[in-house]
Structure 1
C-alpha cells in the first residue's frame, strides 16, 4: 500500500574518534568499504544529483549518477563504534549515487573535525575499494559543491559550518592537485 517500515535496533557504543592515530579510523574505513558494495534498495530515494545538483554545474549530473546506497553524512557523531565495528547511524540523508561519495565526504570530515591534513585524509580514503579508480577532477568538483553548501549554512549562522566549509575547500584543493 505504499508504506515503508522503518525499524531501529538499540546498539550500545560511542561516537567514532576521527583524530589522527585513532584506532576507529580503520573501523570506519571498513564500514565505508562495506557500504560502497551495497546497491540501493528498490525504494524511492533522492539521487546524489538531487542532493548536490543545486551547488554543481550541469555536467556534474553525469558523474553524480550511480546505483550505490549512500549515507551522505559520515560525521563522527553518525558513526557508532560497538564491539570492534563501526556502524553508520542517523540515516537522515540517504541517497543513491556513485560509491566514492561517502569516502569523499568522510575525508572532508577527517579534515574538518578530526584534525587531519588533506594528505592524511587521502591516505584513509585510498583504503576504501574503488577510490583508486576515481577521477580527481570530478571528486574535487563534488567536494567544492559540498563546500558551497556549508558556506551557505555558515551564512545562516549554523554553528561550526564555516570551519567545515573551509576544510571542504582545502580537501577539494588537495584532491584536485592529484588530477
Structure 2
C-alpha cells in the first residue's frame, strides 16, 4: 500500500494510528531484536483492530508491524491471528515475530507489496480472490480456531444448524483485508477466523459485492462458483441474508463509517431480494 492509499482510506477506517516513535522504547527494541534496526517507517492508517500499523524498513527487508496495548480489548484478537498464521501459509503473509514488551503486543509480518482489492463488476481482482477462496475451502480448520460462526448472529441462537460446520472461515473479507499482487490475492487479518459451514464465506461476500456495484443476482452468481455453494439451500440463504442485514445495521449504528453504512444498505438490499424470491 502506498502512502496516498493509506491517506485516502483514513477517513473511513477509524481512529488515528499512533506512530512507531510513540511506542515505548522497550517495545521498539524488542521488535528490533527480531528484525534488526529499523531505519525507516511508513505509517498505515487503514484498519480497525490496531493502534499502530506501520511498514518498517530493516536489514532483512520490509516488515509490516501492527499492535495494541497488551491490556487492550483487541489484544486477544491479535493473539488469535498469531496462532492461526502457521495454518494459513500461502494464503496470508507469514508471521515473523510476536512481541510482548513495554506493555504492548506487536505482530511483525513479511511485507507484501500490493494494493487492496477492487470488488467492482468486471474487476480482475475477483478472479484472484476466487482462487484464494478455492484454496481456503481445501484447508482443514485447525484446532486453534475455537470461535464458532453461529455466534456472529444472535438472531440464529435458536437455529444455529443453519450455519454450523467445521470449515475454516475467515469471516471478514472486506477489500481492505484482501491484498492483490500481480499474480495472486493474499487474505489478511485472520483475527476473527471461525469454524462454520464453508458456504458462509462466499455468502458473506454477497453484501460486499452489492455495495461495490453488483446486483444481488450477479453477486450470488459469483458466490455460486465455489464447491461449498452446492450444499446451501434457498432457505438457508434467506436466513443468513436476514441475519447479516440485522448485524450490519447494528455495526453501522455503532461505527457509521461510510464503507460500513454502504455495506449495511447492501445487506438490506440482499435481504429484500431474497424475500422477494420466496
Within the alignment, does 1:111 sit opposite 2:206 as a pair? no
Contact 2:145/2:193 (CA < 8 Å) preserved in 1?
Answer: no
Distance 1:165 1:40 in 2: 29
The aligned residue for residue 43 of structure 2 is none
Unaligned segments of structure 1, at least 5 residues: none
The aligned residue for residue 199 of structure 2 is 100
Contact 1:70/1:102 (CA < 8 Å) preserved in 2?
Answer: yes
Within the alignment, does 1:55 sit opposite 2:155 as a pair? yes
Structure scoring higher RCO (CA < 8 A, sep ≥ 6) equals 1
Change in Cα spacing, 1:73 to 1:157, as seen in structure 2 (3 Å) is closer
Larger Cα-atom Rg: 2
Contact 2:199/2:231 (CA < 8 Å) preserved in 1?
Answer: no
In the alignment, which of 149, 155, 165 is matched to residue 66 of structure 1?
Answer: 165
Match of 2:226, SS state, is: coil
The aligned residue for residue 91 of structure 1 is 190
The aligned residue for residue 238 of structure 2 is 140
User: What is the 5 A alignment of 1:18-29?
Assistant: 18-29=119-130
Contact 1:67/1:97 (CA < 8 Å) preserved in 2?
Answer: yes
Aligned residues: 174
Scaled by the length of structure 2, the TM-score of the pair is 0.58
Contact 1:37/1:99 (CA < 8 Å) preserved in 2?
Answer: no
Deviation track 1:17-49 (CA, whole Å, cap 9, x = no partner) reads: 111111111111111121122221011421011
Distance 1:131 1:36 in 2: 11
Distance 1:169 1:43 in 2: 34
Distance 2:118 2:84 in 1: 31
Scaled by the length of structure 1, the TM-score of the pair is 0.87
The aligned residue for residue 137 of structure 2 is 36
Unaligned segments of structure 2, at least 5 residues: 1-81, 86-94, 96-108
Deviation track 1:155-179 (CA, whole Å, cap 9, x = no partner) reads: 2242133321221122233345556
Distance 2:230 2:272 in 1: 17
Match of 1:130, SS state, is: helix
Change in Cα spacing, 1:83 to 1:163, as seen in structure 2 (3 Å) is closer
Match of 1:80, SS state, is: strand
Distance 1:165 1:80 in 2: 23
Deviation track 1:128-157 (CA, whole Å, cap 9, x = no partner) reads: 122133112112211221211111122224
